[in-house]
Structure 1
Amino acid sequence: MPPPPVFRFAPSPNGFLHLGHACSALLNFDAAQRVEGRFLLRIEDIDPTRCRSEFEAAIYEDLGWLGITWETPVRRQSDHLADYRAALDRLAALGLLYPSFESRAEIACLVKAREAEGIWPRDPDGAPLYPGAAKSLSAGEQERRRRTGAPFALRLDMDTACRLAGDITWTERGSGPNGETGEIVASPKVWGDVILARKDTPTSYHLSVAIDDALQGITDVVRGRDLFQSTAVHRLLQTILDLPQPVYRHHDLIRDNAGKKLSKSSGATGLRELRAGGMTPEGVRGLIGLL
């Protein structure tokens, strides 16, 4: 008998959960229940400046109120930094990483200069691609700058990584922004030389999600459509690091009255406010179309 499918919900404890989180958590939980699979909760707390224990406690409280149960122990990313370091070491050994030392302000100036010469490409999230020349620094110069204690970001040499990986696809059971579904051809180059770690942050979302999903045996990734394009980077890392490939299902986003995606930063109504106002778990399901 094959092992059961494994689903997960992986929030960051940098704010209170809102309806969008409830939608993703319930879709994963319900899917696991339907196929007698497993449902895991993962706490993505790699950013110590924004993640707080009270938000993590609120995640458990809100999910429990929704009727969601999960396996324990919960994987907290901050407890597994060695896993990400090991992956970075493998990528470095393949010659796929390089440090860039420009500050955010310096990068903004470089982008402005490039844009003055013409259109400078941006990634699917709208951020300009890395415009610097750190990749051309000699190994000796890279080491010299590191020894000075200068801040840096570890970037993936995207062109070299794509040549190594070859053609990449993923199986999409949901759909992308333009209705893409089925076997999707991954195009990670549109993201440029993405950051996989910083001097003071030992991993990035792209790296940690690929490693965590593999180590937890995740077979089905159900998440919002805003992450559809990111799958190309995740599949690239999975291929290079010989990690298993999950099946993906990207779902509709819950939006506010102005049509904008709900977010913690915009002050989207939290589940705790809805609960305090008399909302029931069934009412939440009704609001997000899961009844």
Structure 2
Amino acid sequence: MPVPPPVQPVFRFAPSPNGLLHLGHALSAIVNHDMAAAMGGRLLLRIEDLDRTRCRPEFEAAIFEDLAWLGLTWEQPVRRQSDHLDLYAAALERLRAMGLVYPSVMSRGEIKAAVAAAEASGEPWPRDPDGSPLYPGRERELSAREQEALIAGGRPHAWRLDVAKAVGRLAEPLTWQETGAGPAGRTGPIAAEPAVWGDVVLSRSDAPSSYHLSVVVDDALQGITHVVRGRDLYDATSIHRLLQRLLDLPEPLYHHHRLLLGPDGRKLSKSNGDTGIAAFRAAGRSAAELRAMVL
């Protein structure tokens, strides 16, 4: 019986055009590029432009300029998430058909008030790995008819994944294969813990798809075999693995690299213009200097 040829590794760098790239983005782009080259793989560029209020064409153009200045190359065409909203809607509809999502209407103010009331009574409120309080999930218990009436009422709503119900459908433990080093410095099989995120948003009235949903759909459709990204997304992998299992999507390998931190000890932000790739270039520094600095 003939042996099938090995699968060619496929990597991706997926920035959002909502600001100028900073040195942390340069690190991630370079690591993806170098790992793909070392493994004889392919590097794809994906523009994650679902934020309608913050994403701008000039920022997208700046992404191409910055990456080219770094000496990086990628395959064409570039994928833009805004061109594939129907695919994310289909994935959401599939989860709805499975009875795993529900409409949520609580505003941020209402969530804050509910959390404050619980904590005032001495009840600790669970928070996700980013420090945000978990959604109360009051609408989760409504009947299908009551949920339809809630939507028909016209209040802005989001579709949330019923994580506990989704985890209950799994026949096998949920893990991912880590080849980098997460916060605990561990590699190898990692036990996924999606419940720590609570009922995450998959879609909102003002956003056709969340990061969590669109990223797993895109990775599958683009044949991504290696997801290489910063440690700030390490915990999010639990939700991504859950969605992959629910939607019968392939499981890539994950590699989480270190983060570059600013003077305040926090990860770099696009709001810090002095850490931008463009600012580094404008100061007369070379791409070789930047590479030596971040690696």
For Structure 1 versus Structure 2, the TM-score category normalised by the shorter chain is over 0.9
Are residue 195 (structure 1) and residue 201 (structure 2) matched? yes
SS of corresponding position for 1:170: strand
Deviations 1:139-198 (A, max 9, x none): 222212212321001000011100112410100001111112211010100000011111
Deviations 1:228-281 (A, max 9, x none): 000000000000100000000001001112321101134452111110101111
| Match of residue 135 from structure 1 | 140
Quick one: which amino acid aligns to residue 243 of structure 1? L
Partner Cα separation in structure 2 for residue 258 and residue 162 of structure 1: 38
| Match of residue 183 from structure 1 | 189
Divergent runs of 4+, >2 A = 265-268
8 Å contact 1:110–1:132 — kept in the other structure? no
CA-based RMSD: 1.1
| Match of residue 220 from structure 2 | 214
Are residue 264 (structure 1) and residue 237 (structure 2) matched? no
Identity %: 61
What TM-score comes out, normalization by structure 2 length? 0.96
Structure-to-structure mapping, 1:84-99, within 5 angstroms: 84-99=88-103
Partner Cα separation in structure 1 for residue 41 and residue 150 of structure 2: 49
| Match of residue 285 from structure 1 | 291
| Match of residue 174 from structure 1 | 180
User: How far did residue 86 of structure 1 move?
Assistant: 0.6
8 Å contact 1:207–1:237 — kept in the other structure? yes
8 Å contact 1:155–1:195 — kept in the other structure? yes
| Match of residue 252 from structure 2 | 246
Deviations 1:70-89 (A, max 9, x none): 11111100000011011001
**Number of paired residues?**
289
8 Å contact 2:177–2:253 — kept in the other structure? yes
What TM-score comes out, normalization by structure 1 length? 0.97
Deviations 1:83-125 (A, max 9, x none): 1011001100110000011111111111111222321010001
SS of corresponding position for 2:275: coil
Deviations 1:206-234 (A, max 9, x none): 10111000000000011000110000000
SS of corresponding position for 2:53: coil
SS of corresponding position for 2:176: strand
| Match of residue 149 from structure 1 | 154
8 Å contact 1:107–1:132 — kept in the other structure? no
8 Å contact 1:225–1:253 — kept in the other structure? yes
User: How far did residue 284 of structure 1 move?
Assistant: 0.6
Partner Cα separation in structure 2 for residue 121 and residue 185 of structure 1: 20
Q: Could you tell me which of 31, 36, 43 is aligned with 2:35?
A: 31
Are residue 223 (structure 1) and residue 233 (structure 2) matched? no
